[in-house]
């Protein structure tokens, strides 16, 4: 059973994950409108991943006898000057999400909630990957700077990304 404090924190994380999904959907639409189909694809996949993360949290809350309480999703930005700018914002956002996950870990540890601590290990590892992916793309975009062919090649590479449901979620389907 979840404590009220843990349940509230997990529900707040559900909202944060859905906000992240909404942000990445907005980034995908903006990139598509500007002709960056690969960047748009990368963000569309990211949108699906964030929805999956929210679902994982909701499934967990329910599995522990808790109640899922969905809250309104705050407005997100809708335009970025360049793909580099959007990925820099992505990295900053993922760093914020990492701090939110770390806070959940602190609450679980303080409450000696070992089941939640164990579940959160997946998200700790996921955040390392999320930050690394964003940084790698930023590094690539900075290397090509304003080189249109370089930007084109990175866009083509990002177009190859495909969605794979997280194993932790696939087990529930």
Domain coordinates in residue numbering, the chain:
4-170
pLDDT value of position 146: 85
CATH number for the 4-170 domain, one of 1.10.10.60, 3.50.50.60, 1.20.1260.10, 3.30.930.10? 1.20.1260.10
Q: Is 8 helix (H, G, I), strand (E, B) or coil?
A: helix
Q: Would you say 61 and 11 are in contact if contact means Cβ atoms under 8 Å apart? A: yes
Q: What is the CA radius of gyration of the chain?
A: 17
Q: Is 149 exposed, middle or buried (0-12, 13-18, 19+ CB in 10 A)?
A: exposed
The proportion of the chain whose per-residue pLDDT surpasses 90, expressed as a percent, equals 94
| 0.85 exceeded by pTM | yes
- Cα-Cα end-to-end distance for the chain: 23
State pLDDT tens for residues 15-53.
Answer: 999 999 999 999 999 999 999 999 999 999 999 999 999
């Amino acid at each position: 059973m979840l404590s009220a404090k843990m349940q509230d924190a997990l529900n707040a994380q559900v909202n944060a994950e859905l906000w992240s999904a909404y942000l990445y959907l907005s980034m995908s639409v903006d990139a598509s409108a500007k002709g960056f189909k690969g960047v748009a694809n990368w963000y569309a996949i990211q949108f699906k991943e964030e929805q999956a993360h929210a679902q994982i949290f909701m499934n967990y809350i329910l599995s522990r006898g808790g109640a899922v309480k969905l809250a309104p999703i705050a407005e997100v930005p809708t335009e970025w000057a360049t793909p580099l700018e959007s990925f820099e914002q992505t990295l900053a956002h993922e760093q914020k999400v990492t701090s939110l996950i770390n806070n959940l870990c602190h609450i679980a540890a303080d409450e000696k909630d070992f089941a939640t601590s164990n579940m959160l290990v997946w998200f700790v590892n996921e955040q390392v990957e999320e930050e690394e992916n964003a940084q790698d793309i930023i590094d690539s975009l900075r290397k090509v700077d304003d080189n249109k062919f370089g930007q084109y090649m990175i866009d083509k590479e990002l177009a190859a990304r495909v969605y794979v449901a997280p194993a932790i979620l696939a087990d529930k389907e």
